[in-house]
Structure 1
Amino acid sequence: MVLWVEKQAVQDQRLIPLLSFQLSSISKAINSTEMPVKEKHARRIILGTHREKGAYTFWSYALGFPLASSSILSWKFCHVLHKVLRDGHRNVRHQSNLHDKYGQLVVVYTKLLCTKMEFHVKHSEIPPNLEATDEVLERTAGSDINNVFQLTVEVFDYLDAELRLAETVIRQLNTSIAISTLSSGQCRLSPLIQVIQDCSHLYHFTVKLLFKLHACLPADTLQGHRDRFHDQFHSLKTFFNKTRDMLYFKRLIQIPKLPDSPPNFLHAASLAKHVKPVVVIPDEYEPEQQEDDDDDPEPLIEVSAFSTSSIQAQAPQLDIFDKTFGPPNGGFDDRDLQIESLKQDLELLRAELEKVKAEAQRYITQLKSQINSLEAELEDQRAQKQHALVENEQLRMELEATRRRNAEHESTQSVFIEAENRAQATEQRYNKLREKHTELVSSHAELLRKSADTVKMLSATQQTQEEVERTKQQLSFEVDRIKQEAEMKLEEQKFEMEKLKRELEEKMAEVMRVKGTLQTSEMTSEQMNSSVTALQAEKDRLMRSASEKEAELSSLRQAAQAQQSSLQQERERNSRELGDLQGKLQEKTNLGEQLNRKLLEEQFALLQGTVTEAENIIQDAVAKLEDPLHIRCTSSPDYLISRAEAALGSVDKVKKGHADYLSNMGDAGGLLRALTQFSHLTADTIINGSATAHTAPPDHNCRGCATQSLQFFKDLKSKTTLQRADPASIRVIIQKILNLGQELRPKGMDVRQDELGDLVDKEMAATSAAIEEAVRRIDEMMDQARKDTSGIKLEVNERILNSSALFHSEKLLTGTNGIIVWLVQGAATMKEFYARNSRWTEGLISAAKAVGWGATEMVESADKVVLHTGKYEELIVCSHEIAASTAQLVAASKVKAERNSKRLSVLQQASRHVNEMAANVVASTRTGQEHLEDKETMDFSGLSVIKLRKEEMESQVKVLELESHLGKERMRLGELRKKHYELAGIPSEQISEGNGETSLLDHPVTMSPKPSKPVLLKKPALSQKPNMPPKTTVRGVKKSLRVACDEI
């Protein structure tokens, strides 16, 4: 102990300088001066909490601040406390809280009082006791629905604060196992009387305001208000039921009963059924508190009085019995003596118990008062110690200042000595206080141990008292039972006595008759003696039978007691077994519920994982739509239709699986399988739909299908939206994709053979109209170019636009195909010929469409070149396409025409004219391009050798880039042609290895899946650059073409 005290003293000596800095910082940081807290002071306070690992010094000094006297002081105290709580040691938060159950109640009660004051300050019309009429409530709410809504929310908050206080009090009451009849429980329960009064009025206000809101606003808007009211209703009903059952409230307040179910605010007629709960308080509601020492426990049964009265009641009966049969041999019965001894023992035990209780209570009271006094003295010693430390530090600070001034002023030596003496005296006093503190701590520990021993003795005494009470009850029960048995025995003996009395009377009468006869005859004396002897024997027999009955009665009583004890033990054992079985049943029930919840959670987790994977599949399909490599991929409409039909079937399976899962959430297997199949089929439909027509409406429908599928998956992932998840919108979009896929199928597959003739006529007429429109637009562009341009540009434009003779030749070609039917022998009509040769007819329709498309593109390219927005290469490509389309028409005509037909030769001659005019277009385009390039010659006069070298290097780099780009474009062109031939129906082995082309003379091209675009054919050989023929030559060609048309 001495070593610990010395060690503590050394530690205190080390902490004194640090403590002085911390106290100085606290006093400088928290003061009434209107200026901000300095960071160095706050930092020192925070470091002090880390050094002492807590906030004891801070709180011991801060509790002395007069916070209520200065608002600035309170403000700066809050600021410093905020910093300490935020950056201080981790024990600060623990030491800053009041660890007391009443502290928690005070916090909740303070919040309630703040809410109450804010409410009544804002709504001054409503009195603080809340006893306001409906008119006052209507006037406070007003006519504005917004004000009514806000007032309802405030009443909700008010009622929540009341119920929170009530729940906290009742929860602590149950935790501390307090009884409402004890002072500790009544101390907590007494404020709930005001809470019950406030809650009854607030409940009425809430019902009125909610009915008013439902009369003005839709029901969906007030769903949150109804849910909050239902929660408050059930909490308030539970609170009223619990307090109604407590004995403390039964004589202080009459608690109203709430209805079984909350009001239905959706029906306005329910307002008439609402009854305002009324709380009634008697005039005298203060309970009379009496000390436990003055209340003597009353016995449950007055055994002594009861036994005395029973004995007195039995006395006359015993006297009659004694008069008849004589007094008993032993006087009182042994059981009476046992009962008397038990009563005396019980009285002694009761007196001893009362004495022990009084002594224990007195001893406990003395110990509590002694503990409280010691704790108060300990707190005083702690405060004195703290103040001594502060004073000692202040004296040390003064001593240091004195020492510094001593070097300068020798005259202050006496003051220094006096201050040092004071410091020594203070240190001595501090040491004494510390020793006193140590003694108090040890004595406090000893008292705590004694208190624990006293509590154990009291608990043992209480157990003894309980055992005495149980013994007393058992003895009372035994006395009652013995009394009943004695009464029964007395009744039986009384009955036997009356019977014997009647028999005795009969015998006496017989004796009198015998005596009468004895006077007449002496011979009968012997008979009388014998009868007397017989009567005496009968009397002895009756006495023996009575004693036997008493023995049998006692044995029966003992057997009944043994049977009762066995029954009691059996009942206790059955109750214990029943409790164990109920506990096991509850555990099994809880385990089953936990397993069921776990199964539901696992099934939902599997569903979420499957939905996430399905989302990834759909998102991957959408990402492929944006992939440049996917643009080169194509698909057939037939495959798209098959995928779309399969996807529609999977939608029905998903819908069925969703319904099955909602009916039984413990089994999600059907929905998982349906979702897996649906995600893959939908992704295939999206990818193939986009590949079938990249620029057609199916591409947008595919994106819409992906969007709806992802939305459906999103609804499945959340439990709140799982019920309303519906794949109907996905079915609609997939049906649209299916319809568009059927529309994209080749027309030849959709058109019947008897309609092929009309279709050929329509396509030929459409092609002729397109060529005529192209000729007209070329003439208009030529006139416009002559007006707007001049010089070399005008010459170039005229050369390009003079290619209109090419369209005349195309018109001749398309017109010639109409008479091919007459060249074939055996054809009755054109429709029969087309129906008989449907495959050939499809190739003819494709060639006609290609010619019309080529003419239109030629005109568009020429227009762009004239307007300087296009490229000359586009004209060259279009001329090649027109030549290829012309070759396809000639090849189609050769298949069905006779070998030596004159009209066939005319058709071939027109095809040669088309090829020649195409070559002229190419040559004219290139010549015009060269003229324009020659006009813009480079000027090298201002360039030095280094600049020329640099330009040369840049040109070489550009040449290499263009050559690389050219190689890649050629490879891409080959792939496109190869894919085009595959779609056209040409086998891949017949495609040449050079550029993927084939001869159309041996294999006519069939219908393409995309009839709006022409079939790419082998380009004709390009001729040398010819000189531009004069206009007279062009006119001659036109004239020869017109003559050929007239002959046909």
Structure 2
Amino acid sequence: MEVHYPSRPVDREKAEHDLALNIKKATSPDETAPKQKHVRKCIVYTWDYHTSESIWIGLKVAPILTDEVQTFKALITVHKIIRGGHPNTLKEAQNQTWLETCARTATGDGMRGYGTLIRAYVDFLRAKLTYHRHHPEFNGNFDYEDYISLKNVDDPNEGYETISELMKLQDQIDQFQKLVFAHFRQSSNNECRIAALVPLVEESHAIYKFLTNMLRAMHRRTESIDALTPLRTRYNAQHYGLIKFYYECSNLKYLTSLITVPKLPQDPPSLIDGGTSLLTKHPQQKSSASSSFSDPEPITEFWKENEAQKQQDLERQRLLYEEQQKQLAQQREMELQSQRMKELQRQRELEEQQRIQQERERLARDQLMREQMQRHAEGRVAELERELLNMKNNFERGQMMLEQYDRRVKGLEIEMSQLNLHAQQQIKSKDEMIKNLQDQLLMWRNKYEALAKLYSQLRQEHLELINKFKNAQLKANSAQEAIDKMERMERDMRAKNLELADMIRERDRSRHELDRLKSSQREDLERAKRDLNEANSRVEELSRSKNNEISSLMSRFNKEKQELEDSLMSKQSFVDDLLRQLEEKKNEIERVAQEKDDEIAIMQSAVDQSMTLVAQMQQSTTESERYQARIDNLMFDHLKDMNEILDSIFQTCIQKIDDSLYELESPMQTGNQNATPEYTLSMIEKATTECSEFSYAFQKFLKSGRSNNHTEVIKSATNFSQAIADVLINAKGITRLSGEDDEISEEIVGIAKITANMSQKFLLNVQSFKLDDLSPSKRSDVVLQSDMDVQTALQTLSKVTEGLLRHTLDVTKKADGEVGNLVEQEMLHAAQVIKAAMERIQTLMSRPRDVGLSAHELNVHDAILESALAVTNAIANLIKCATDSQEEIVAQGRGTSSHAAFYKKNNRWTEGLISAAKAIALATNLLIETADGVIHKTHNLEQLIVASNEVAAATAQLVAASRVKADFMSKTQDRLETASKAVTEACKALVKAVKTIAAKQFEQNEAAIDYSKLTRHEYKVTEMEQQVEILKLEKELTNARRKLAEIRKHGYHDEEEED
């Protein structure tokens, strides 16, 4: 393909860089619309270079498929580029598979609700590209004039098919815009969704204008209007749909700020009597003012320079087209002449056949008329006979109906007589009953009067007897009277005492009930305050990371808390009033004991008031229950929000593991190249511990009813996911040690992948939507089973990793004293080695100068020794910081156990630390020996560079081993990291100095050869010798790499074997 260069001065490399930057900005993860300027610059790029390949490459390499918002914004950008870009953009877009990849990555509705929209958008864009593939005469904007200029349609069938397929595409636009409106969210910013409507409005209006012109031309060309009725019906339906669509878009302020929404007439335009035929004629150029739609992103100003060339091409095409039309017209005229002759002969034959046929038809019509008249007379006679028969049948039915009516009337008369008889009997029986009742009433009245008289008589006698009894009593002796009075008073006192005791018991019962209610309310209040304090503390802990999400909840919670406290204070005052009233009632009861005459009335009043108090207390209890229910609802809502936050954090952890899993499976990622089997085993041990801690924290969380311990669960989950991610990266790194044995590498990657999948399944199984459907016992079983699956996978990965170690140092088999001394001895040995190296360098620097060396060689030796001394100084500081960090880790992690017990408990970490200390000591010795050899010319500069790189790798291994157990924000770990950076910088400086020296030596050697003085034969011989030398070096390089892989595979030996 020929490369096109723009007419204006543009730097291609700068344009490519700007294009990548514009794509990145247009597909940013922010939920906003793609900026117009970024999309416009991408479109201008296609017009400058007549290609869009760089745009598709930029979309493929950009990490936009991991975020649904970025994917949706990328689809909007692609849609606009296809519409406004160079015509080659449409052809190149049809060959791309990036859209199918977008649809496959969007599963479900997505975290932010874009999954369905992405799949629908991809379906629409694929339909649009398919249409353009079948109809290449259309441009991306569906411009009617460009279509007519490129293709002259004379076949109505082809026009009918084109219009039908275009209406199908318009229906897809309508379905997609309805889906976009359905996915608007009230609580979020819909700017990104509205941005997708902008190209839909532009494209739907362009298709609408094209259909209007095309249908009018079809009606001009087609004599049969009925054949186009389905198209007109579908066109009218789409017209009303567009009116609704544009009305909804006009209510969106953001959309109207970008483009002018078209305004269509309420009724569809006439397709039969409007417009002119545009199927065979070039359309007239329309002014931009006549269109009700204005393009929000004009780009023609960037390529007006090519307009003259385009006009010339169009003119040539037009002339060629006219010449072809003339030739076709001549051929058509000759064919018409011959057709007219044949037609004339057929016309004569047809006239004769028509005359004979007309005569036959006349005779047949006469015969048919006679037969019809005869059949009509016969039918009339049959009709009259049927009418007579019907009249007879109607008369008979009328007679039968009259007989039935007579029988019915007689039956009703009999029923009326029976009813009258029955009513008379009921009236008679009721009259008798009334008479009997009146007689009984008279009898009872007489009895009542007799009893009244008897009662008055007896009462009179009773009064007389009482008077007699009083007289008799007066005459009784005074002693008997006093005794009787005393006994009566004692009986009265006992009765009053019993009643008073009952009242006191009732008072005590009421007081006890009141105390019980007070204590219950006090406990409820304390429990509510305690729950509120716990909730506030949990919210405060989470507010540091989720401040924006919890602020509204906290304000509402505090408001409810204040209302509850006010309500409890009011109830407390009410209880105090009850106590005061109860005390008053107690005083009243004591006064009742002294006032015998009023004690019954007072007792009744006290009982009534006590019952009222009990009713009020029961009402207060009901209010307390209602407030408790509100508190429970608030706690439930809070618990639901916290579970949603927890699920979101679990999903983030799953995503983190998924990213590491992608790096594990990607052939472009090599993992941690400084990883060793010992370090990887320590990371696996850390992951095992973090998995157990996460399982324990979540079990504790489940036992608390999923209402407490959110902080511990979140912390353990993040630590667990980070540990798994570290295991995956280091597992990928140690595959380099397997040499050419691909089975071991594939086994390590496969088991690491299983570990990652089990970890993701663990985090997925403990999410709330999974646990809500399970019973409490099954929830615990799910957590335990998931923990066991992850632990099993980690153990399998640990066994495979151990297979890379030829000899391992098992510290668990050492005695406690040996383990502690072993670690300290290795750190001390490394420090001694570095100290000896420094002294050796000092000795080399202070020795007398060799007079046989030139000044340049002396400067080279001094530079090498100074750089080596800087590296050893940095390593000495590194070992000191590593010792401090190791002591801090042991002191904080051992608890009440000894140092040796901590080392044995964390045996993998201990082995990694020992291996790192050995590596530093060995690398430092190698560096000093190589530097000495370079000075004495027994080693070369390349060996010095390799030794420096070995020092940097050993340093990274030691820092990584310390980082596994270091606490967050540890100062000693920070000092160790700083010392590691100093070692790395010193090694880089040494490598840079060596490369500079090597470059100067190469220049001096090359300067001694003058290639211009060589003959042609000598030049060719020299060239072939260099090619042979290159092939030898490449072969040696391949063999050296293979040998290096084998050395690394078998390069982990036990220290005891080395000694």
Query: Where on the TM-score scale, by shorter chain, does this alignment land: which range?
Result: under 0.3
- TM-score, reference length from structure 2: 0.22
- TM-score, reference length from structure 1: 0.22
